């Protein structure tokens, strides 16, 4: 099974990270992997792609005529790809050697129409001891309580998700309005919206294989309290937008809230009682600060999305 991995970027400033991501894909154990590099409207970046990878049979390069954004760039990458499966990885991520092979297993053994895996943190400036694992999703890492193990989920992270290419193209790819609708660059949810259409059209979600791992680089600015609170607020806003744009798409968020109240809170209180520490106390406080920020973002979203 041929797998095309689409990797998009728009600036030379991140080239070292892009090259590391590309090398991790090309160095994988699956023997039929194609890398599709998309420069989003940057000719200099495209020339660098050509210089570094242009002579390889397992690499395709493309340059958009103008900067069109990540989702449209991914759609373009999927269109020019030649694989049976199209997978996506971000330019600040590093794939495990067996990442593609583990995704392929879901297609060959589970007859999946889409598959994704686990995002693990690569703390560039060290792990912030106040950030609870339940909110790792704010920094693009699979959070505590996401899934008990392998099985079908609504969607995985956009840096570790794949689709049968014919299914992806049949669905029309990512909705390019997501992320820019009404001029609001803070709206997110491209994977959620696409996977909702996948469920509606094919009756299946994304098969989650936690053994298919991708490491996400968490840069220092993403561990700052102010950034995390702002991120949580706009994530709450996006949840409301997705609720309006994609009805019945917020079941996982409702389940997360239930886990927070009836599983995580009692567990953390028990830990504080029997093994108190400053780190445990800080994480307990931040568990609810971030929940409140998401809630305020959601409430703000209700004034914009009706």
Pick the range with the lowest mean pLDDT from 159-173, 178-192, 214-228: 178-192
Domains and CATH numbers, the chain: 92-224 (3.90.550.10)
- Dump pLDDT digits (tens) for 236-257: 888 888 888 777 665 677 777 7
Rounded to two decimals, the pTM is 0.91
pLDDT value of residue 258: 82
pLDDT in tens, 63-79: 999 999 999 999 999 99
What local confidence, expressed as pLDDT, does residue 55 receive?
83
Encoded tokens for 26? 């090309």
As a whole number of angstroms, the distance between CA 123 and CA 98 comes to 21
Question: What would the 3-class secondary structure string for 240-294 be?
Answer: HHHHHHCCCCCHHHHHHHHHHHHHHHHHHHHHHHHCCCHHHHHHHHHHHHHHHHH
Residue found by looking up tokens 């994530």 in the block: 235
The CA distance from 62 to 72, in Å, is 13
pLDDT at 184 over 90: no
């Amino acid at each position: 099974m041929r797998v095309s991995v689409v990797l998009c970027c728009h600036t030379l400033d991140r080239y070292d990270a892009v090259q590391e991501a590309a090398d991790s894909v090309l160095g994988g154990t699956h023997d039929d992997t194609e890398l599709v590099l998309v420069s989003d409207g940057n000719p200099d970046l495209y020339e660098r792609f050509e210089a570094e990878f242009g002579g390889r049979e397992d690499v395709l390069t493309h340059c958009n005529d103008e900067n069109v954004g990540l989702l449209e760039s991914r759609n373009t990458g999927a269109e020019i790809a030649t694989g049976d499966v199209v997978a996506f990885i971000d330019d600040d991520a590093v794939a495990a050697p067996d990442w593609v092979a583990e995704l392929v297993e879901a297609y060959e053994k589970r007859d999946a129409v889409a598959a994704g895996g686990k995002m693990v943190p690569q703390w560039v400036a060290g792990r912030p001891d106040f950030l609870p694992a339940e909110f790792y999703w704010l920094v693009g890492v699979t959070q505590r309580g996401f899934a008990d193990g392998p099985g079908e989920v609504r969607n995985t992270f956009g840096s570790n998700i794949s689709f049968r290419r014919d299914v992806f193209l049949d669905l029309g790819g990512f909705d390019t309005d997501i992320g820019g609708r009404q001029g609001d660059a803070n709206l997110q949810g491209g994977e959620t919206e696409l996977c909702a259409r996948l469920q509606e059209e094919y009756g299946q979600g994304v098969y989650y294989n936690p053994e298919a791992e991708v490491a996400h680089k968490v840069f220092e600015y993403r561990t700052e309290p102010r950034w995390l609170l702002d991120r949580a607020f706009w994530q709450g806003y996006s949840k409301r937008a997705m609720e309006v744009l994609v009805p019945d798409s917020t079941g996982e968020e409702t389940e997360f809230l239930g886990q927070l109240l009836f599983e995580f809170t009692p567990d953390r209180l028990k830990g504080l009682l029997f093994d108190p520490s400053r780190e445990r106390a800080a994480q307990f406080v931040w568990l609810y600060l971030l929940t409140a920020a998401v809630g305020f973002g959601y409430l703000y979203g209700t004034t914009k999305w009706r």
